[in-house]
Amino acid sequence: MKEPGGWKTSLFKPDEQAAIHFAERLTGYPGGVDEHDIDALGKHFDQEQIVELVAIIATANLTNRINEGVKTPVDV
C-alpha cells in the first residue's frame, strides 16, 4: 500500500480498490478530483455511499492535519 498504486494489488476487491484510489486522489490533490473519479466510484457505490466516503476521507484528512499541526504525540 505504501508504494504508489499499491491499491491495485489483488489483495483488494474492485470496490475497495476504487475507494482507496479515490482516497489517494482526494488526499493528495483535492482540486484534481474530476468526473472520471466520481464515475469510477459510481460503478461500485451509490450516491449516498459516495457522499459518506468523501465525508470520511475529509474527516480523516482534517484530523491528521490538526494532529500534525499541534504535534500530537502518537501512542503506539
State whether CATH 1.20.1290.10 applies to domain 6-69.
Answer: yes
Tens digit of each residue's pLDDT (9 = 90 or more) over 3-31: 656 667 778 899 999 999 999 999 998 89
Distance CA 70, CA 76 (A): 18
- pTM recorded for the entire structure: 0.81
pLDDT for 39: 95
- Long-range CB pairs of 14-23 (<8 Å, 24+ gap) are 14/44, 15/44, 15/45, 18/43, 18/44, 18/45, 19/44, 19/45, 19/53, 22/53, 22/57, 23/53, 23/57
pLDDT of 1 higher than 60:
no
